[in-house]
Amino acid sequence: MPYVTVGQENSAAIDLYYEDLGAGQPIVLIHGFPLNGHSWEKQVLVLLNAGYRVITYDRRGFGASSHPSLGYDYDTFAADLNTLMTKLDLHDAVLVGFSMGTGEVTRYLGKYDSERVQKAVLMAPVPPFLLKTDDNPEGVDQSVFDGIMNAIVKDRPAYFSDFFREFFNVDVLLGERISNYAIQASWNVAAGASAKGTLDCVPSWLTDFRDDLPRIDVPTLIIHGDADRILPLESTAARLPKLIKNSQLEIITGGPHAINWTHADQVNPLLLDFLQQE
């Protein structure tokens, strides 16, 4: 199993597990909370068949990567991504983030520029800024995030059960676009994540990306579901075309948060078309 070392905590190295498959232009897929790189299953197969090199990795604290007690902030997440990009010596890469992974894409491009990157995709994005403040009235009240943290501390497995119901819009899509088996598989991955990392990720969602977004200088595709209950469209993706040069927004009608799974039949053609554009 391939790993890249991104840091050290006491006597243990902090390693990220990654998979590097196929050949061609590299596509780096960055997963959402609280999953791992295998959550891109429905995209990996399509991208490999289309002739791309596909790279996935597990964020620190999740999946087969190390579970340290520190580093759950976007400066560190972006540094981890930069270490992977450098180790694999990637060029002309496309960074594709889903949900929490869109923060890595945004902070990476804001901090490390686009020398190694040709295009970017933000799917169900966190940016520009989730927290409601005087200068960000479109955001979400702090009390919502306090409630999430309290629920994680009280009963993390129960929190995940509630989370995935809204993640997949189970009341609407069960049996049509999501199965109980897929929900259980996601729960299993989440339950195996670092308890400390799970909790510490919540404050990271409140990162202000508004200074990073104007620095993105590559073509950017934004995809969001209009029925997203985790990251509402109007607070997130709908605001991005004005903040990112050379970007396009595609809205999936009826799409929940997990559009890369439930609506892969619509997301994948959008992704492939964007990759093939000159």
Give the residue numbers marked as catalytic. Answer: 99, 228, 257
CA atoms in the 13 A half-sphere facing the CB of 61: 22
Contact at 8 Å (CB) between 241 and 269? no
d(CA 228, CA 168): 9
Report the residue count for the chain: 278
Contact at 8 Å (CB) between 130 and 136? no
Contact at 8 Å (CB) between 99 and 33? yes
Tokens of 247: 């970007």
* CA–CA–CA angle 182, 185, 190 (5° rounding): 125
